[in-house]
Amino acid sequence: MAEAMLRNAAGDLGIRVRSAGTRALVGRPIPRRARVLSIRSGAPKAEVRAHRARWLDDADLADVQLLLGMSRSHVEACTARAPGLMRRSFTAREFARLSAGLSDGLIRETADAVGDDPLARVGALTRLLDSRRPLSAAVSAGDDDVIDPYRAGRRAYDASAAQLVLAIEEIARALRVTLR
């Protein structure tokens, strides 16, 4: 659901968005309620219907400029495998929380300081957000996690989607400012 939403929100930026699970049911489609919510958020029907779960492997972590997990445990699983990603890894809600207080001007100025290379610009953004971690209000572990709706009812899926929509909007805003 997050992959489809982010690709839809930031697809025009030329970024590659892909997802993989740390506990994926490989080959399984997106659950029906997640498909409905993804499509309702604007993700293309064909893309959502074609998506299949896949297992995270080392190749997925090899060239990541920004890693977004749905929970701290997802981020920890990834950074345990690739410790070099630690400062470029956030939960989606953590990224959104850290960037929400930043003006477009500050984000643009930070990105402009490293030049025109898109990868360097995203790197500058992630360093800026990482530097804000100690300054941000203390939150409990669950505050930065997206609700995991798997095997839960409609309410859990709706709540998860609502959290994702807000986070994805902010992530897309920060990336849009960074890359334009």
Lowest mean pLDDT among 52-56, 76-80, 113-117, 155-159: 52-56
96 burial level (CB within 10 Å; 0-12, 13-18, 19+): buried
Q: What is the largest CA-CA distance in the chain?
A: 47
pLDDT at 60: 85
Which alpha helices (DSSP H) does the chain contain, by range?
2-10, 32-40, 45-50, 58-62, 72-81, 92-100, 104-112, 118-132, 154-179
Tell me the mean pLDDT in the region 32-45.
Answer: 83
Residue 68: pLDDT band with limits 50, 70, 90: very high
The number of folded domains in the chain is 1
Q: What is the pLDDT of residue 66?
A: 94
Q: Nearest CA to 99 among 41, 172, 163?
A: 172
Q: What is the pLDDT of residue 24?
A: 66
What percent of the chain is modeled with pLDDT above 70? 98
Alpha-carbon span 145 to 160, nearest angstrom = 10
Give 68: exposed, middle or buried? Use CB within 10 Å, 0-12, 13-18, 19+: buried
Structure-token match 């920060």, residue found: 174
Q: What is the pLDDT of residue 137?
A: 66
Q: Whole-angstrom Cα distance, residue 39 to residue 155? A: 17
**Which residue is it, tokens 């898109």?**
118
Average pLDDT estimate for 22-42: 80
Distance between CA atoms of residues 120 and 126, nearest Å: 10
What would the mean pLDDT of 76-88 be, rounded to a whole number? Answer: 93
Looking up residue 44, the CATH number of its domain turns out to be 3.40.50.2300
177, 125, 161, 170: which is closest to 2 by C-alpha? 161
d(CA 113, CA 22): 35
d(CA 95, CA 21): 19
* Domain extent for 147: 2-179
pLDDT, tens digit, for every residue of 136-147? 766 776 789 998
Please tell me the predicted confidence (pLDDT) of residue 1: 82
